[in-house]
Amino acid sequence: MEFATVGVVGAGVMGVGVAQNLAQTGHQVVVVDISDEVLDNARRELRNSLRTYALFNKNSGIDMAAVTRRIEFTTDYELLAKADFVVENVTEDWGIKQQVYEKIDRICRPEVVFAVNTSAISITRVGSATTRAERVVGMHFMNPVPMKPLVEVIRGYHTTPETIDTARRFLTGMGKECIVVEDVPGFVSNRVLMLTINEAVFLVQDGVTDAASVDKIFKGCFDHRMGPLETADLIGLDTILKSVEVLYESFNDDKYRPAPLLKKMVAAGLLGRKSGEGFHRYR
Ligand code: NAD
Write out pLDDT tens, residues 38-60.
Answer: 999 999 999 999 999 888 888 88
177 and 196 co-located in one domain: no
Residue located nearest, by CA, to atom 40 of ligand 1: 235
Average the pLDDT over 154-179 and give the result. 98
The answer to whether residue 267 scores a pLDDT higher than 90 is yes
Q: Ligand 1: list residues with CB < 6 Å.
A: 9-15, 32-34, 38, 89-92, 96, 100, 117-119, 140-141, 143, 235-236, 239
pLDDT at site 17: 98
99 and 211 co-located in one domain: no
Structural Rg of the chain based on CA atoms: 19
The backbone torsions φ and ψ at residue 272, rounded to the nearest 5 degrees and listed phi first, read 100, -150
User: Domain for residue 251, yes or no?
Assistant: yes
Catalytic pick among 21, 119, 122, 275: 119
Catalytic pick among 128, 134, 152, 189: 152
Residue 253 sits in a domain whose CATH number is 1.10.1040.10
Over pLDDT 90: what percentage of the chain?
93
198 and 63 co-located in one domain: no
Pairing of strands 136-140, 113-116: parallel
The number of folded domains in the chain is 2
95 and 166 co-located in one domain: yes
**CA dist., res. 264 & res. 269, Å (int):** 9
165 and 72 co-located in one domain: yes
Is residue 122 among the annotated active site residues?
no
**CA dist., res. 271 & res. 279, Å (int):** 9
The per-residue pLDDT of the chain, averaged, comes to 96
Query: Where a domain ends, among 147, 182, 217?
Result: 182
* Residue positions counted in the chain: 283
User: Domain for residue 282, yes or no?
Assistant: no
- Residue-wise burial string across 115-137, b where 16 or more C-beta atoms lie within 10 A, e elsewhere: bbbbbbbbbbbbbbbbebbbbbb
Query: Where a domain ends, among 182, 206, 221?
Result: 182
Average the pLDDT over 92-111 and give the result. 97
Is residue 190 among the annotated active site residues?
yes
- Domain hosting 218: range is 191-275
195 and 167 co-located in one domain: no
